[in-house]
Amino acid sequence: MSGAKAAAEILVEGRVQGVGYRNFARHRATLLGLAGYVMNLKDGRVRVRVEGARPVIEELVRVLEKGPPLSRVEHVDVRWLPASGRFARFDIRFAEFEA
């Protein structure tokens, strides 16, 4: 492993709020050893900001496309970013902040 870090912002659309999606995303990201956060957006989407090895992030994206049993994922948008290194673990954020 080269240890090269990648980062992505993943926006998930569909029935993804109130169905355990954030806990699902945090659990899976933590199992994969990724860092970052997941949060609900005011428009009904879920935002996942994640850092780690690109192949591992791609694996998380595949998991997020399925979602937990009560969710219905309609669309997943992935935007690749430079890694910031500012995340120590993967958390749930409970408020929407504009960056």
Each residue's pLDDT tens digit, 26-72: 999 999 999 999 999 999 999 999 999 999 999 999 999 999 999 99
On the 0-12 / 13-18 / 19+ scale of CB atoms within 10 A, 51 is buried
Give helix then strand counts, H and E, for the chain.
Answer: 2, 5
- Specify whether 22 is catalytic: yes
β-bridge mates for residue 67, sequence order: none
What value does the mean pLDDT of the chain take?
93
* Catalytic annotation, pick one of 22, 26, 28, 49: 22
Question: What tokens appear for 49 in the block?
Answer: 């900001």
Domains and CATH numbers, the chain: 6-92 (3.30.70.100)
Question: Which one is catalytic: 28, 40, 45, 93?
Answer: 40
3-state secondary structure of 17: coil
Query: What pTM was estimated for this model as a whole?
Result: 0.91
Residue 23 bears catalytic tag: no
Q: How far, in Å, CA of 15 to CA of 79, rounded?
A: 21
Per-residue confidence band for 2, with pLDDT thresholds at 50, 70 and 90: very low
Measured distance CA(53)–CA(3) in Å, rounded: 7
